[in-house]
Amino acid sequence: MGLAVENLKMNFKTMEEFKSFKEYGLEELSMIEELQTSMVEDNTNSPFYGIYYGDRLAARMCLYIRQDTLNLVSGNDQYVEIWKLEVLPAFQKKGLGALLVQFAKSFELPIMTKPRVKSQSFWEKVDFKPVSENSTRLIWLPEKKNAQKTS
C-alpha cells in the first residue's frame, strides 16, 4: 500500500475524522466555523496534512510556515512549525510519524516543534535537538549543502 502525505481538505468529513485524535481542540472548532462561511472555496489549502491508511485518516499534523521575527534560527528568515503531530494508536510503529516529519523536512527550512509528553524518543530518532539547554522546544536544521538565499 503506497502511503503518502496529503494536504487535508477542511470539510465536514475531515473534521469528523479529527474527533478520533487526542489533540482535537479549539483550532479545529474555529476551522469548522470558517468552513461554514467559506465552504465554496474547496481548493484552499489547509495547514493540516495527513496520511490515510485505507480509507481511514491514520496520522496527521499541522504545519505553519513562520516568519522568524525573533531570529530563533540564525541565517533563516522563515521556519516550519509542526503542531499536533499524532498517529492513532492502531497505526503507531508503522513509520507514519516519520513519514509526516520527512514531508515537513522537504520544505528545506528549519523546523520547530514542542513535543507532547512521552514523545521525546520519537523526535530524537528523526534528528530533532533541544533549542537550548532548558527549552522544551525542539529544532531540526536542514543541511547547508546548497545554501542559496531566495528573495
The domain segmentation of the chain, as residue ranges, is 5-140
Q: Cell numbers at residue 127, please? A: 534528528
Predicted confidence at residue 151, as pLDDT, reads 42
Residue indicated by cell numbers 527549552: 135
Residues of the chain with pLDDT under 70: 1, 23-44, 145-151
Q: pLDDT at position 13, please?
A: 81
Supply the pLDDT for residue 136.
86
**CATH of segment(s) 5-140:** 3.40.630.30
Tens of pLDDT, residue by residue over 4-20, are 999 888 777 887 888 88
